[in-house]
Structure 1
Amino acid sequence: MAAGRYFQNDKRTPSYVMASIAIFVALCLLGMWMLSAPSGDEIASNVKTIPVDEGDVAQKKKEGEPQQFEESAGNVEQEISPKLEENPQSEYEGEKSEENKQTDVQQLEEKDEREGGPSEVKEEPEADPSNDKYTTDAQGGDEIEKKDEGLLQKEDKGSAFDESSGVQSEIQIENKEIPNDKWQTQANESEEEKEKIGDEEFGSEKQLRNENVPTNQEDLENESNQWVLCGFDGAVDYIPCLDNKEAIAKLTSRSHYEHRERHCPSRPPTCVVPYPENYHKPVPWPKSRNEIWYSNVPHPGLVTYKKDQNWVKKAGDKLIFPGSGTQFTHGALHYIQFLEQAVSDLMWGKHTRTILDVGCGVASFGGFLFEKEVLPMSFAPKDEHEAQIQLALERGIPAISAVMGTKRLVFPSNVYDAIHCARCRVPWHIEGGKLLLELNRVLRPGGYFIWSATPVYRKDEENVGIWKEMSALTKAMCWDMVAKTMDSSVGIGVAVFRKPTTNFCYENRKESSPPLCDSDDKPDAAWYVPMTACIHKLPEGEDPRGKEWPQEWPLRLTTAPTWLGNERGLYGRPAAADFRSDTEHWQRVVTKSYRNELGIDWSSVRNVMDMKAVYGGFAAALASLPLWVMNVVPYDEPDTLPIIFDRGLFGIYHDWCESFSSYPRTYDLLHVDHLFDKVKKRCSVKVVVAEMDRLLRPEGWMILRESVPNMEEVETLLKALHWDVKMTYSINGEGLLAVQKTKWRPSATS
């Protein structure tokens, strides 16, 4: 009460009381300043989210004041910033009170105890606006430049990514070295396998590719400013590794389809592929499943060749796909339902999620499997059946150009839930069953091989003989025939075989033919590795991958495979925790930034490629949209592709110093996340950019996340190709680039 009286009447307040109060207040203010001030290891900046006035920004740049950003910039920063579930909030949400910071640290420590180890990041320092660059044209109007080169400190002094400060970001954790004994790569496994069998082809080509790496800045600048049009016959549909006429001409044999396999040029081409005359923007999905523009794929050969089989027809300026074919004259959906009735355990879309369609034709079977929540990977060779795969991709159906020849398919072992072959005419039974044994390698234990070819139901001498051979081979491989039935309405039959789930049958066969593979034969080695006519034993003991069937879809999409265990993951924590963190990170990035901040019309996006997929989190975050993602695991990156398959997605191994096995203009969106550091050591960045331009459709998008030097090098090359830069954003040496391809092509004389 006495204190109350003092404050009511200042004239009566004794001077010693006022002095005491002043000292007390000063001490409080000093204490608060000391607690809130950043330490020597932290970044001394506070960023507030206020709207940007462009005139004010220009004046502040002139005066050297730090720029402040719109709230939307905070969302983009969040997606560049690390993949840590511990700190999902944007750095642009304003200052945190000391009490909240202490609560965050306490939550991190409690989380560390649950996950069995300390987190790599203790506290996320606030961003320094003097280190930021942000430009955007996400609304699709004229490009708005907000760049100020002085805002970007390329050396990252005192940045949140500075290891000397004791602070690590997720980007650095992502790029940390990993235990070699846990995470193999295709470069390791395949090279070891090829050395064992004496195959030298791969090594010589890799050595030649290394000669293409520019050695100095002048070479880079000369490269970036020169793009020329591919001027040879067939350039409009050019696939460099499948159209290498010089290499094909030197082949000593074609009896095993060697001429349909990959033969990449030792010096990858960087010319720009021309467009077909009168190229149209592709028909959107799902309408594209039934019709596409003829001018986009102007190949009348297949229409003529298959005119009696109801695969594809030309009607005016469109190609029409009736949804039927040789084996399913009542339509693909009728055929799919017939298969499910034949084997009820298939459980399309729940138990059976990923399926490999061999010799797919125009892929109508795969196209209608989407209605059952099944994800098909279709493939067929680039052969006299002109442009089958190109037609499939133009329709919006996943497909690659490949052949059952002399090399293994570029997939891991034990990953496909089912494999389908409808009248694919592959001689599975010859040469010890080598080709069927390759399917056995990639088929998941307990998975199904669905064969509806003529030997199943026709009774002429040739087909009966093939059926006997196949019956003997599948029995020797320990496959159980779970169904053999006829669809009387169309007069075709199907035989369904199931791969065993244990090694019991293999070890108790009376005859060891086909033989078991040697114990040092690596079943996951697939990059240019020759096929072998042997059976790989199933996982057992300390190798649990493939022993358990994944959970039913869609639960498997976000569930870490049990075989990951507590081994160290790619970002330094237990692999299962890494998987969960990666999944949550990409869900935030896609939802808050990619789908809302970049200006992409996602209704026009159907075919997507993630050029460095890691755990497949990007694809998982897009699973609710009517699109599909080709997850690419580079051959020299950690082999995470089995994880991607286990979560009900699919993908492929690839070397980005070579061309991808797909036709030009077959993807709507490319996603690139820290790909170039390794690639540019073996080939030029221009080689990869030329391949991106070949794969992407006009008006398609690319989203790139790289270090700033890599991002700027790619951006320079893309600007020379007249791609439209919609957004660039960088902070502390890490950047985001969003670009849209235009219809520009170099002149024929340039």
Structure 2
Amino acid sequence: MKKEDVLPSADQQTEKKPEEKQPEQSPIDMEWKLCSFSNAADYIPCLDNQKAIKKLRSRSHYEHRERHCPTGDDIKKCLAPLPSGYQAHVNWPQSRKQVWYSNVPHPGLVSYKKDQNWVKKKDDLLLFPGGGTQFKQGAQRYIDFIQISLPDIAWGKHVRTVLDVGCGVASFGGFLFDKNVITMSFAPKDEHEAQVQLALERGIPAILAVMGTQRLVYPSYAYDIAHCARCRVPWHVDGGRLLLELNRLIRPGGYFVWSATPVYKNEPEDVQIWKDTKALADNMCWKMIVKQRDPKTGVGIAIFQKPKDNTCYQKRQKNEPPMCDESDNRDAAWYVPMQSCLHKIPEGDGIRGTRWPQEWPQRVNATPDWLGTIPKGLFGKPAVEEFESDTIHWQHVVQKSYARGLEIDWTVIRNVMDMKAGYGGFAAALVGYPVWVLNVVPVTEPDTLPIITDRGLIGQYHDWCESFSTYPRTYDLLHADHLFSRLKQSCGVVNTVVEMDRILRPGGWGIFRDTTTILGEIEPLLKSLHWEIRVSYTQEQEQLIAAQKTSWRPSS
């Protein structure tokens, strides 16, 4: 984020034109049907749109794994069925080790990765030993080896946020929770059947995404570390475009941890890939500070550090990769093509990215110093004042209301999404709970996501007029604070409520805060879906509804 007078609007972060609003059906007239097409129980609208995928001119850069959302009559007007035998999920932390097979009935990885200790099936459970292709003695051993190799990483203090590329079943991120590190794991929906679905069922942050032609849906400097363990990404091809995308996302002074056969094996192909990737990293001014092999497992890692300033860029004899044009917005990330270029490192006082945030856990409530240069925040007051009052406000709401007054059993809540996250205060207030929160900043709202990631929290951009890139039944609680007021003006509320029903687990909760007029439309819609209204509270023109999804599905 550049030095600005106001927070930039997140709609500046997209190159996609909004769809024209369609008339909505009244909730009173709703007659829900059960989706009956193939794979309906795991249907992801924007990733399973075969009509759009068949029209693609190329798949060479994984275009078929990217988002292609249905519109108009192509939007499925039905509800995803439950898998046969579906039951309440295993609670965290036991879920890191085992989940019900009936909830994610996909045996493919059990056989496909049987020699790599990803996942095993025993009776009616799927078991996760904590292994992986590179985790030959478990993810915990691997995580400790990284720390031993580079003590400056200081898990859970200096390093708080990690992006795990090609995550498998996300055991790396799952065991980093023990270090007070939160990891956003991602992988495409591909032949590695249901890997992201399994990660989420385990209670580990994960999303379906691919390093293809479009930027990942995060602002610049969103992560302290990017990690790749045998992620099968060709970093060295296409002018280094994919590694340059990681460079955009890594905080200045942050790290790239790479563990793959080119790092430590001497096969001709591995040697050439290492040579090409290392040359690219050198040209990007990444400094290799560790190249080491674990004597117990034989697995090697290489750790590169992104520069903290522009000194190295200025000394390069060749402008390869080229520097990005000054007009290129490094935070733009919603349907924005990747660029094969380097952004300059920020310089000067009051600019985001010039300083590493405070150590965790102080980081979560510390006011980013660069906010002082923004006189108008979300509500028209100085951004610093708003940030600090927002932090106090959500601490009070969570402690006095959500934790005690909504009938929610927080011992069974693990995967949480704040659908309109603002400054991230709701997620910050939940840091002491055994949950993780994905902070979503709608592209129609001011761009507060850089503030959220500076707090040591995870989040992404999204347009709630489209479906989310996750499987059905993957979240326990969805928080919608004045989200629908804006949606009412654009694409309406019905499709988004149906989307909430798709991604929420049976027994999961929706917390809605909005005007009485808006929630007057939402409440009958929830009732038509057989959600149970547990709490409804009105004060003047504002209303709160806490509703619990049931296991009801239409009969046909």
- What amino acid is the match of 1:264? C
Do residues 574 (structure 1) and 382 (structure 2) align?
yes
Contact 1:564 1:576 in 2 (8 A): yes
Deviation string 1:471-517 (CA, Å, 9 cap, x unpaired) is: 10000000000100000111110000000010111121011000000
Using the alignment, how far apart are the partners of 1:575 and 1:685 within structure 2?
A: 30
Matched, 1:394 2:201: yes
The match for 2:12 is: 188
1:411 corresponds in structure 2 to 218
Match for 2:22: what amino acid?
Answer: N
What SS class does the counterpart of residue 352 from structure 2 fall into?
coil
Give the secondary-structure state (helix, strand or coil) at the position aligned to 1:426.
coil
State the partner residue of 1:606: 414
Aligned-pair distance for 1:222? Answer: 5.4
- The amino acid across from 1:405 in the alignment is G
The letter for the 1-side match of 2:57 is: T
Matches within 5 A, 1:87-486: 182-191=6-15, 202-203=16-17, 206-207=18-19, 210-214=20-24, 219-221=25-27, 225-267=30-72, 268-486=75-293
- After superposition, residues 578-727 of structure 1 pair within 5 angstroms as 578-727=386-535
**Counterparts of 2:497 and 2:13 in 1: how far apart (Å)?**
27
Say which of 345, 357, 360 aligns to 1:550: 357
**For residues 132 and 142 of structure 2, what CA distance do their matches in structure 1 show?**
10
Give the aligned residue type for 2:9. Answer: T
Unaligned runs of 5+ in 1: 1-178, 192-201
Contact 2:5–2:376 (CA under 8 A) maintained in structure 1 = no
- 2:204 maps to a residue whose letter is I
Superposed CA deviations along residues 174-194 of structure 1, whole A, max 9, x for unmatched, are xxxxx9962222322323xxx
- Measure, in 2, the Cα distance between the counterparts of 1:286 and 1:270: 36
In the other structure, the counterpart of 1:531 is 338
Deviation at 1:221, TM superposition (A): 4.4
Which letter maps to 2:388? R
**1:287-334 Cα shifts (integer Å, max 9, x gaps):** 000000000000011111111111001000000000011101111111
Kept in 2, the 8 Å contact 1:323–1:364? The answer is yes
Work out the CA distance in 1 between the residues paired with 2:23 and 2:140. 50
Letter in 1 for 2:549: K
Q: Secondary structure at the match of 2:197?
A: helix
Deviation (angstroms), 1:245:
0.5
Equivalent pairs counted in the alignment come to 551
- Judged with a 3 Å threshold, the aligned counterparts in structure 2 of structure 1 residues 543 and 437 are, in CA distance, closer, same or farther, namely farther
Higher normalized strand content (fraction of residues) = 2
For 1:73, the equivalent position in structure 2 comes to none
Judge conservation of contact 1:389–1:401 (CA < 8 Å) in 2: yes
In 1, Cα distance between equivalents of 2:76 and 2:491: 11
What displacement does 1:541 show?
3.5
1:135-173 alpha-carbon deviations (Å, 9 max, x no partner): xxxxxxxxxxxxxxxxxxxxxxxxxxxxxxxxxxxxxxx
Name the one with the larger helix percent.
1
Asked whether the 8 Å contact 2:350–2:371 carries over to 1, the reply is no
Please give the secondary structure, in 1, of the residue aligned with 2:404: coil
The one-letter code matched in structure 2 to 1:582 is: D
Contact 1:213/1:682 (<8 A) preserved: no
For the Cα contact (< 8 Å) 2:244–2:341, is it kept in 1? yes
Cα distance per residue 1:2-44 (max 9 Å; x no partner): xxxxxxxxxxxxxxxxxxxxxxxxxxxxxxxxxxxxxxxxxxx
Taking structure 1 as the reference length, the TM-score comes to: 0.72
Aligned to 1:115: none
Structure 2 residue 545 is the aligned partner of structure 1 residue 737: yes
Q: Is the CA contact 2:160–2:224 (under 8 Å) kept in the aligned structure 1? A: yes
Are residues 502 and 377 of structure 1, via their aligned partners in 2, closer, same or farther at CA, if it must alter by over 3 Å? same
CA apart distance, 1:211: 3.8
Deviation at 1:716, TM superposition (A): 0.7
Aligned-partner residue type, residue 212 of structure 1 = Q
Cα drift, residue 259 of structure 1: 0.3
SS of the equivalent of 1:548 reads coil
Pair member with larger Rg: 1
SS at match of 1:680: helix
- Percentage of matched positions with identical amino acids: 61
Alignment of 1:38-57 (within 5 A): none
TM-superposed deviation, 1:690: 0.5
